[in-house]
Amino acid sequence: GIYLDYNATTPVDPEVYARMEPYFKEYFGNPASAGHHWGWAADNAVQKARGQVASLIGAKANELIFTSGATEANNWVIFGLISKLRNENPYEPIHMITSCVEHSSTMKAMEAAQKLNVEVDFLPVNLYGQVDPEAVRKAIKPHTKLMSFIWVNNEIGTINPISEIAKIAKENQIYLHTDATQAVGKIPMNVTELGIDLMSFSGHKIYGPKGVGALFIRSKDPKVQINPLIYGGGQERGLRSGTLNVPAIVGLGFAAEICQRHLYTEAARLLSLRQLLWQKLQVAIPGIRMNGHPTERSPNNLSVTLPVKTDSLLSHLQKLGVSTGSACSSGAMTVSHVLRGIGLNSDQAQSTLRLSLGRWTTENEILRAADILQNAIPKKIV
Ligand code: PLP
């Protein structure tokens, strides 16, 4: 089969796996064990990983807290801030701004925040899936405490104007959080230069292991303060307790190093493969449409709406690992809120495929994938 679902998850790079392995075996120590070399070895490895991850995103090592992934990091930002603000003043109103095309881990957490009497605005996006910075500015209220916007959309690949939004957040002294799960390792970034306050991301989208990720928390100008989500033994400067998942953290660190080493060449390679795929599909399937921004998009993502619903194609697409724009949950069709957010109707969303390329995608695979798709479309339509 041909795996074109790298936005869902990536395989662990064999080099990453090799670096992780000793930390399951001889270096099994607990980094919190400060009294012996088993502990020191583990602690050194975690410190090294923190530096590798920091370097990829332009942060300082002490600004990173390891989490179980981006879902946890996104939840933590929202509930950790609410908890902090309510501790300080239980009666002060809290307002947060986000968009209608966020990952479910932000969207559902924001909905849960509303039930805690937090006022949340879900801003609409343009037809490409981008938030308008001026709309963000207009949505600001005296009690706005957080803005949270996805950097690169996981379904349609669109890049949000995070740098402009960061300026607006800074002018108004409001924390800016971004879910950069699909941006890290794919597009160059420097969180310090951009003035981002909080940023979530995950290991398994960058050829690291699943179940590990990080939250970047700016340490000064301003020092960002949120309460812990998980209390306990005081690991991660008391912000995220629990024995560290050392092998996974080592894996995330080395995965970040590899991404940094090849960032520009890999982005260029993926972009040209994606353009080839789009070129082939446009010729092969009349009426096909690309979703998301034509240029302001992640190099690896192609979201297309076909002239036919995808459920009728699935038997032809078994050899192709791709995602659809709708999911069948207990017999009912649930259409992606992202596709709805960019104005697709239910039929169009049900005709949408996400093809996402990655480190092991080859030109040959792209040509074969285009053929498979072409052959899957009923001839009377083409
Ligand atoms: N945010 C985005 C944009 C994602 O694509 C994903 C991946 O599913 C997540 C958050 C969740 O990440 P994790 O699986 O690490 O919790």
Q: Do 14-258 and 263-376 share a fold?
A: no
Q: What confidence score (pLDDT) does residue 314 get? A: 83
User: Looking at this protein, which amino acid is placed at residue 367?
Assistant: L
Mean pLDDT lowest among 44-53, 284-293, 308-317: 308-317
pLDDT of residue 315: 86
Select from 152, 181, 187 the residue to mutate for testing ligand 1; criterion: most ligand atoms less than 8 Å from CB: 181
pLDDT above 70 (res 331): no
Q: What span, in angstroms and rounded, lies between the C-alpha atoms of 169 and 155?
A: 26
- Counting from 1 in the atom list of ligand 1, the atom nearest the Cα of 204 is 15
18-76 pLDDT, tens per residue? Answer: 999 999 999 999 999 999 999 999 999 999 999 999 999 999 999 999 999 999 999 99
Residue nearest (by alpha carbon) to ligand 1 atom 10? 70
Per-residue pLDDT tens digits for 95-139: 999 999 999 999 999 999 999 999 999 999 999 999 999 999 999
Answer yes or no: is the C-beta of 155 below 6 A from any ligand 1 atom.
no
> For residues 181 and 154, is the Cβ–Cβ distance under 8 A?
yes
Pairing of strands 144-150, 332-335: unpaired
Q: Is 203 in the pocket of ligand 1 (CB under 6 A)?
A: no
pLDDT value of residue 326:
74
Question: Does any ligand 1 atom lie closer than 6 A to the CB of residue 179?
Answer: yes
pLDDT value at 285 more than 60: yes
Q: Residue 352: CB within 6 Å of ligand 1?
A: no
Q: What is the mean pLDDT of the chain?
A: 96
> What pLDDT does residue 328 have?
65
Among 5, 67, 74, 103, name the best residue to mutate to test ligand 1's pocket (greatest count of ligand atoms within 8 A of Cβ): 103
CA of 8 relative to ligand 1 center, distance in Å: 8
Indicate the top mutation candidate among 154, 229, 354 to test ligand 1's pocket, ranked by most ligand atoms within 8 A of CB: 154
Our answer on whether the CB atom of 177 is closer than 6 Å to any ligand 1 atom is: no
CB contact set of 140 (below 8 Å; sequence gap of 6+): 97, 168, 172, 174
Give me the residue label for tokens 């446009």.
Answer: 282
Ligand 1 site, residue 186, Cβ cutoff 6 A = no
Q: Is 328 a catalytic residue?
A: yes
Q: Give the active site residue among 328, 333, 381, 382.
A: 328
Looking at residue 381, its pLDDT comes to 63
Ligand 1 contacts CB of residue 75 (under 6 A) = no
The CATH class given to the 263-376 domain equals: alpha beta
Question: Region 356-372: what's the mean pLDDT?
Answer: 98
What pLDDT was estimated at residue 379?
80
Rounded average pLDDT over 266-292: 97
- Poorest-confidence range of 32-46, 61-75, 320-334, 358-372? 320-334
Q: What is the pLDDT of residue 333?
A: 74
Segment 237-269, tens digit of pLDDT: 999 999 999 999 999 999 999 999 999 999 999
Closest CA to ligand 1's atom 16:
71
Q: Domains of the chain: which residue ranges? A: 14-258, 263-376
Residue type, 165: I
Q: Domain 14-258 falls in which CATH fold?
A: Aspartate Aminotransferase; domain 2 (3.40.640)
Residue 234's pLDDT is 98
* Angstrom distance (rounded) from CA 165 to CA 194: 10
Q: Give the C-alpha distances (Å, rounded to integers) separating 248 from 18, 20, 39, 204.
A: 12, 7, 16, 10
